[in-house]
Structure 1
Amino acid sequence: MRDIAKEVYNKMKVGAAAWIRPVSAKGDTIQSFQSAHDAARALEDEGLINIMKVQRDEDGLIEAIRIQKLN
């Protein structure tokens, strides 16, 4: 399984903000995307990003995460 949060982080510049979303062309689903939130929290715990917003669908599943790169 690919680490979507780390992929987005690596493409960002310091201070930039971005949305992390599942990409169906790469095989992501809403269900498989739930692990991206855990990966984003790990990056936040390391002080690399700030999770600004978590967007959920009507079932409570995470469908997008807004992050800001700190380092």
Structure 2
Amino acid sequence: MRDVAKEVYKKMKVGSMAWVRPVAAKGDTLPSFQSAHDSAKQLEEEGLISIGEVKRQDDGLIEAIRIQRLA
């Protein structure tokens, strides 16, 4: 399984913000994307990013995560 949050993090410059979203063309689905939030929380605990916002659907599934690269 791809680590979407880490892929987005590696492409960002320090201080920039980005939305992490599932990419259907790469095989991501909303259920499989839920692990990206766990990965983002781990990056946040390591002090590499700050999670700014988490967008959820009505059923509670995460559809997008806004992150800022700190280091």
TM-score, with structure 2 as normaliser? 0.99
Deviations 1:6-50 (A, max 9, x none): 000000000000000000000000000000000000000000000
CA distance in 2, matches of 1:60, 1:3: 21
- Map of 1:41 onto structure 2: 41
Amino acid at match of 1:47: G
CA distance in 1, matches of 2:2, 2:56: 21
- Map of 1:20 onto structure 2: 20
- Map of 1:6 onto structure 2: 6
- Map of 1:52 onto structure 2: 52
Name stretches of at least 5 consecutive residues in structure 1 with no aligned partner.
none
Name stretches of at least 5 consecutive residues in structure 2 with no aligned partner.
none
| Number of equivalences | 71
Amino acid at match of 1:31: P
Tell me, yes or no, if structure 1 residue 32 matches structure 2 residue 32.
yes
Tell me, yes or no, if structure 1 residue 68 matches structure 2 residue 54.
no
Following TM superposition, the consecutive aligned residue runs of length 4 or more in structure 1 with deviations greater than 2 angstroms are none
After superposition, the CA RMSD in angstroms is: 0.2
Q: Tell me the percent identity.
A: 72
Q: Secondary structure at the match of 2:15?
A: coil
